[in-house]
Structure 1
Amino acid sequence: MNKRQVYNSDLSDAEWQTIAPLLPPPARRGRKPKYQLRRARPRRSATGV
């Protein structure tokens, strides 16, 4: 069962595919991220997204 609460600001899969190429690649050093970037970033309204 998914323990994470769903928010209206969550991105759909289609929206995520649109912005994913614009995000920087993961760092090669340091700790592994505790949360997936997709789940951690709040949605920001933008024209065309």
Structure 2
Amino acid sequence: EILRLMASGFSNKEIANSLGVAEGTIKNHVSNILSKLGVRDRTRAVLKAFELQLV
């Protein structure tokens, strides 16, 4: 869900608000997503997610 919202251009704060969780929680999840996809930033994560058909 977080990856899909990232792909839609949502900021961490916007994602947190839409999911009803703390922004810090989203930051942790984004960090884990970047690590699992083997990328350094959100843009590359979204591109990789599209390549892998995750979103």
Common topology (TM > 0.5): no
Q: Which TM-score tier does this pair reach, normalised by the shorter chain?
A: under 0.3
Q: Which has the larger radius of gyration?
A: 1
* TM-score of the two chains, using structure 1 as the length reference: 0.25
Q: Which structure has the higher relative contact order (CA within 8 Å, separation 6+)? A: 1
